[in-house]
């Protein structure tokens, strides 16, 4: 089997060397014909990230040169690596498995109805919502009901559309830099030393909470025997020659802060671990893990639903939340529920329900594709990424993808992948692994929530009974489980477990009302 695969890769390599001008022109025409709105949105976001410091004419001049290189040279190199059929499924590979909570409870009981009241209503049944149900079942007494409402089926949003990694959160320097940039805008009263001190504090608290989150996930999987294909093998991130200085600095800061999961490995070690061919040292997250993200969500719900005071209602859209003297009324497509607490586990969908989060939680589209085959040298169950793509090998399938751009609030969750990005990421993957043989089966997109400072919010929205965990910036697996635990403990007024998300750092007022936010001491 492997000999046949190797032979096909050699044949493809020889074919790539013979891609003539006519084939390249035909390829470019095909790309141009296939361009859609999402392609142009992604292009604008890419330009801002790569050449944001250049003048407007210069950044688009640079982009034009880059696009020509991609269309005529780089992407045609992978033309024979990727087989694209006429029809490609938009169902994420994770959601092809049977969902045990599909259309619950209506599939088995058509006459079921949502309750009139509950102590807590959780909106959303992804990473965060399922974690809230799990922790409530573990900690709450039997007379305190929690109801989870999901507008589709569990894990149908970004929790079932991602790259399949349990991340250790973002590394120290990355958090410090994004928060520091924002602090200059919202804390003009601070001098440079104060801003630096505060940004360092934010980064330390974030990383410590994320590390605890990863350990709690592993403990839950081992405790209950969850079958979610969990493997803790790390995450290799290739870095170019121009990125080496920043890599060394990020590793040094990680060591100095004690947030040392993020480190650097030599090119030979990167190849040994992942199969990637790189010419320079790479970044490495030592404790990151791979898993089946949808199975993780379904497993949490299965454990939570063992108790009678946790209930799940799918295909129930929340239309609005109203405040009352006694608490809140949640209006849904299937009726209303009165409750004392509302827990928003809605991530990028939040602004559609709570308008105050417009520009505070920003829906950003990311996308992925999967198929049979892929590079023979790619190691399974380890995170893999370059500067502009990510990849992973799961069984006989390879998953690869790339980031996208901001979408309007009303388009959160849209499934409109860019074929250009699929081809581009495939070409980037070829650059690290050489020729391969891959059949495209699935191609999809989803949205994650970004905050302006790229730092999550975990806490109370109104100082009373509206709670939220959101703005995880594509690192939902690094925040959601621990964040939901802390919110559940606050609602239950339990203080026998550590609270890793102190209000001065994570409270939503940091974004919604920064002038009155209780900032950490500098």
Instruction: For residues 236 and 266, give the distance between their C-alpha atoms in angstroms, rounded to a whole number.
Output: 11
Q: How far apart are CA 341 and CA 208, in angstroms?
A: 28
Which tokens is 247 given? Answer: 């890599």
* SS3 state at 343: strand
Residues in a beta bridge with 344: 123, 468
Q: Residue 469: how many CA atoms within 13 Å on its side-chain side?
A: 31
Residues 6+ apart with CB under 8 A from 511: 357, 360, 451, 452, 453, 457, 471
| Token representation of residue 166 | 């349990």
- Please give the Cα distance from 363 to 404 (Å, whole number): 10
In degrees and rounded to multiples of 5, residue 54 shows phi and psi of -85, 165
**Phi/psi of residue 199, nearest 5 degrees:** -60, -40
Question: Rounded distance, CA 167 to CA 285, Å?
Answer: 8
pLDDT in tens, the chain (522 residues): 444 545 454 444 444 445 677 877 887 788 788 777 777 777 777 777 778 788 888 888 888 888 888 888 878 877 789 999 999 999 999 999 999 999 999 999 999 999 999 999 999 999 999 999 999 999 999 999 999 999 999 999 999 999 999 999 999 999 999 999 999 999 999 999 999 999 999 999 999 999 999 999 999 999 999 999 999 999 999 999 999 999 999 999 999 999 999 999 999 999 999 999 999 999 999 999 999 999 999 999 999 999 999 999 999 999 999 999 999 999 999 999 999 999 999 999 999 999 999 999 999 999 999 999 999 999 999 999 998 899 999 999 999 999 878 999 999 999 999 888 899 999 999 999 999 999 999 999 999 999 999 999 999 999 999 999 999 999 999 999 999 999 999 999 999 999 999 999 999 999 999 999 999 998
Q: Where are the domains of the chain?
A: 2-87+362-449
Distance CA 126, CA 160 (A): 8
* Alpha-carbon separation of residue 395 from 96, 291, 371 (angstroms): 14, 12, 11
Query: What is the pLDDT at residue 4?
Result: 53
CATH number of 2-87+362-449: 3.30.9
| Cα–Cα dist 476/499, whole Å | 18
**Each residue of 271-307: b (16+ CB within 10 Å) or e?**
bebbbbebebbbbbbebbbbbbbbbbbbbbbbbbbee
C-alpha span between 46 and 388 (Å, rounded):
9
Q: Which two tokens stand for residue 420?
A: 């250009």
Q: Measured between alpha carbons, how far is 136 from 139 in angstroms, rounded to an integer?
A: 5
Residues 6+ apart with CB under 8 A from 208: 259, 500
pLDDT value of residue 34: 79
Tell me how far CA of residue 372 lies from CA of 45, 381, 399, 442, 506, in angstroms: 30, 15, 9, 10, 41
Asked if 468 contacts 458 with a C-beta cutoff of 8 angstroms, the reply is yes
Q: What are phi and psi of 476, to 5 degrees?
A: -60, -35
Judged by DSSP in three states, 449 sits in: strand
Strand partners, 89: 442
DSSP characters over 351-388: HHH-GGGTTTSEEEEEEEEEEEEE-TTPPTTSEEE-SS
Residue 72: the pLDDT is 82
> pLDDT at position 471, please?
97
């Amino acid at each position: 089997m492997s000999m046949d695969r190797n032979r096909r890769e050699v044949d493809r390599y020889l074919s790539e060397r013979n891609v003539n001008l006519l084939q390249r022109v035909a390829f470019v025409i095909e790309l141009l014909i296939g361009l859609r709105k999402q392609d142009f949105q992604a292009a604008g976001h890419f330009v801002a990230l790569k050449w944001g410091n250049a003048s407007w004419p210069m950044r688009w001049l640079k982009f034009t040169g880059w696009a020509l290189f991609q269309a005529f040279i780089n992407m045609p190199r992978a033309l024979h690596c990727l087989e694209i059929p006429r029809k490609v499924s938009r169902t994420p590979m994770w959601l092809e498995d049977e969902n045990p909570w599909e259309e619950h409870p209506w599939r088995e009981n058509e006459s079921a109805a949502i309750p009139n009241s509950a102590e807590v209503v959780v909106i959303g049944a992804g990473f965060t919502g399922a974690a809230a149900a799990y922790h409530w079942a573990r900690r709450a007494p039997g007379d305190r009901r929690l109801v989870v409402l999901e507008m589709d089926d569990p894990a149908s949003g970004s929790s079932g559309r991602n790259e399949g990694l349990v991340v250790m959160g973002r590394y120290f320097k990355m958090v410090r830099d994004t928060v520091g940039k924002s602090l200059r805008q919202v804390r003009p009263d601070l001098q440079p030393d104060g801003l630096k001190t505060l940004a360092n504090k934010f980064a330390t608290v974030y990383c410590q909470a994320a590390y605890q989150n990863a350990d709690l996930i592993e403990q839950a999987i081992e405790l209950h025997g969850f079958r979610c294909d969990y493997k803790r093998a790390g995450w290799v991130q290739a870095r170019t020659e121009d990125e080496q200085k920043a890599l060394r600095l990020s590793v040094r800061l990680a060591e100095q802060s004690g947030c040392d999961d993020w480190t650097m490995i030599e090119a030979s070690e990167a190849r040994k671990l992942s199969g990637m061919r790189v010419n320079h040292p790479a970044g490495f997250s030592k404790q990151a893990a791979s898993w089946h993200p949808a199975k993780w969500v379904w497993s949490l719900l299965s454990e939570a639903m063992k108790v009678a005071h946790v209930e799940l209602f799918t295909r129930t859209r929340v239309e609005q939340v109203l405040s009352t003297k006694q608490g809140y009324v949640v209006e849904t497509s299937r009726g209303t529920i009165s409750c004392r607490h509302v827990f928003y586990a809605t991530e990028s969908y939040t602004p559609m329900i709570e308008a105050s989060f417009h520009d505070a939680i920003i829906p950003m589209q990311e996308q992925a594709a999967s198929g049979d085959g892929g590079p023979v040298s790619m190691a399974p169950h380890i995170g893999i990424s370059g500067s502009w793509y990510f990849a992973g090998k799961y069984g006989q399938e390879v998953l690869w993808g790339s980031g996208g751009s901001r979408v309007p609030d009303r388009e959160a969750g849209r499934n409109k992948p860019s074929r250009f990005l699929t081809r581009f990421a495939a070409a980037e993957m070829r650059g690290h692994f050489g020729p391969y043989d891959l059949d495209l089966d699935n191609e999809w997109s989803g949205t994650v929530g970004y905050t302006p400072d790229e730092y999550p919010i975990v806490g109370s929205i109104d100082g009373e009974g509206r709670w939220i965990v959101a703005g995880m910036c594509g690192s939902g697996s690094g925040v959601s489980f621990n964040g939901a635990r802390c919110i559940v403990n606050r609602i239950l007024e339990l203080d026998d477990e550590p609270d890793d998300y102190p209000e001065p750092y994570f409270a939503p007022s940091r974004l919604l009302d920064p002038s009155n936010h209780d900032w950490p001491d500098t």
